[in-house]
A and B are shown apart, each in its own frame.
Chain A
Amino acid sequence: MSEATLFGLCGAALVGLGLYGLICHPGALRKILAFNLIGSGVFLLFGIVARRGAASGFGGDPVPQALVITGLVVAFAATALAVALVLRLAQTSGRTGLDPERPGQPEGTRRTES
């Protein structure tokens, strides 16, 4: 098995793992972490496409590599925004999850701000 195939299967497994965490974790921050795992799995899939496309004296196809770099930067921006949203949610409602059915916050942590 070439290293591209091996890491491609790795990427597929990462997407599955991240998806499971995204569905099953109640905490919003954990969902963000899981989403980042999915992202890195997808980037790895791009990476093997780049590796297999090695030609013209390059170690890999530069176009998917450039897309991954763009993607990493945008993923960071999205993560920073999502984290700020979660912190703001916790600040205003005391909740750390996204489930609207369970507003239950411990006494003293609630601060109404509206």
Chain B
Amino acid sequence: MSLTAPVDLGLALLLLGLAVWVIAASATYRAAEGFIAYGLVLALVWVRLGSVDVALTEAALGSGLTGLLLLRAAARLPPADPAERARPAKGVRVLAGLLCAVVTAGLAAVVLLLPEPAPTLAPAAAASLPATGVGNPVTGVLLAYRAVDTLGESIVLVLALIGLWSLAPDAAWGGRPGALTTAPAGSALRFLAQVLPPFGILVGIHLLWVGADHPGGKFQGATVLAAMWVLVIIAGLRRPPPVTSRATRWLVVVGSLIFVGIGAAGIWLAEAFLAYPDGLAKPLILAIEAALTLSVAVILGLLLAGPPEAERPTERRS
């Protein structure tokens, strides 16, 4: 595989260069731009590390959604006044640099001194794979071998949304999230928001569907779906639902509820929480995946849409 060395080296240099740009850029907006490009290169690195599942997640979530979130936040934030722009004193920066160099050196030493042969849980995961009927080992791990992690994660997402909504001023409660509304969209943007989502929805469902046997899965599919929803909102074709909407709230929690329900049913049917009865593992996993995809897509979109804002008609003056 020595032929891939130039590609690897190029990717590593590109990655580090963009990371330096994110830290050193003069304006927050520029740093956020750099972060999007950085995420894209990182996705290629993950492909080189043989983890297409992670590469998909990084491209969609780490670069796409996080990048959009930070760009819009940088654009909304009032400019910092000079007092807050001041960097720490030079001595502090040198000390910080030294500390970071020590941390990096320590981690590099760990990387170079990793044990040979490498410990691995791959055989254990492979052994439990046939029982689940799923072909993609990462999906198998996420939903059978380490299903408790995934359940916790889906609940963390709901909690993050509750935390975000609770930041709304009292007067704004019950309103619609306002972080995505912009000035009236131009015709090019409206066109893109009408043409792209059908493709995106297809890709999202495709990712969910192939995730059972090939790289892909609920989080990747849900992220693409959320991105398409957010695109439609940005273009002004649809408005985000008000936070008091009962249907939205049900969509937010339905994935976790079904996951917990099937997990609890496992106590009686398979003698352990989150254990699947023999022969039913694959349909149950698919049911959980489908419900979670829906919930995660809605939650991710709402996280991007921000806390509710009061609808002030005077806000629209320019």
Chain A interface (Cβ < 8 Å from any Cβ of B): 3-21, 23-27, 29-30, 32-34, 36-37, 40, 43-45, 47-63, 65-70, 72-81, 83-88, 90, 94-97, 99, 102, 104-106, 109, 113
Contacts and interface: CB of A to CB of B under 8 A. Distances in A.
A29 B160 contact: no
A33 B164 contact: no
Nearest to A96: B80
A106 to B, nearest CB: 5
A66 B157 CA distance: 17
Contacts of B122: 53-56, 58, 60-63
Interface of B: 1, 4-5, 8-9, 12, 15-16, 19-20, 22-23, 28, 31-32, 35, 38-39, 42, 45-46, 48-51, 53-54, 57-58, 61-62, 65-66, 69-70, 73-74, 76-81, 83-88, 92-93, 96-97, 99-101, 103-105, 107-108, 110-112, 114, 118-123, 125-126, 137-138, 140-142, 145-146, 149-150, 153, 156-157, 160, 163-164, 167, 169, 179, 217, 219, 296, 300, 303-304, 306-307
Given A57-B126, A62-B141, A76-B303, A27 B111 contact: no
A73 B61 contact: yes
Nearest to B171: A113
A103 to B, nearest CB: 9
Contact of B123 (A5, A23, A37, A56): A56
Question: Which interface residue of B51, B53, B118, B137 has the most chain A CB atoms within 10 A?
Answer: B51
A47 B8 contact: no
B303 A77 contact: yes
B306 A9 contact: no
Contact of A53 (B38, B92, B104, B120): B120
Contacts of A75: 62, 66
Contacts, number: 292
A59 B51 contact: yes
Given A69-B57, A77-B303, 7 more contacts: A4-B49, A6-B12, A7-B12, A36-B35, A85-B167, A87-B179, A96-B79
Question: Which interface residue of A50, A75, A80, A113 has the most chain B CB atoms within 10 A?
Answer: A80
Contacts of B54: 43, 47, 65, 68-69, 72
Contacts of B85: 26-27
Given A62-B138, A62-B140, A84 B22 contact: no
B77 A63 contact: no
Contacts of A102: 83-84
A30 B28 contact: yes
B169 A113 contact: yes
Contacts of B50: 50-51, 54, 59-60
Interchain residue pairs A-B with the least CB separation, the first 9: A53-B120, A16-B104, A59-B50, A12-B107, A8-B111, A52-B118, A62-B137, A77-B160, A56-B126
B108 A9 contact: yes
Contacts of A37: 19, 22-23, 38
A67 B149 CA distance: 8
Contact of B120 (A18, A61, A105): A61
Given A13-B16, A47-B49, A3 B111 contact: no
B112 to A, nearest CB: 7
11 contacts: A3-B4, A7-B12, A12-B105, A17-B20, A20-B96, A58-B126, A60-B122, A69-B219, A76-B300, A80-B164, A83-B73
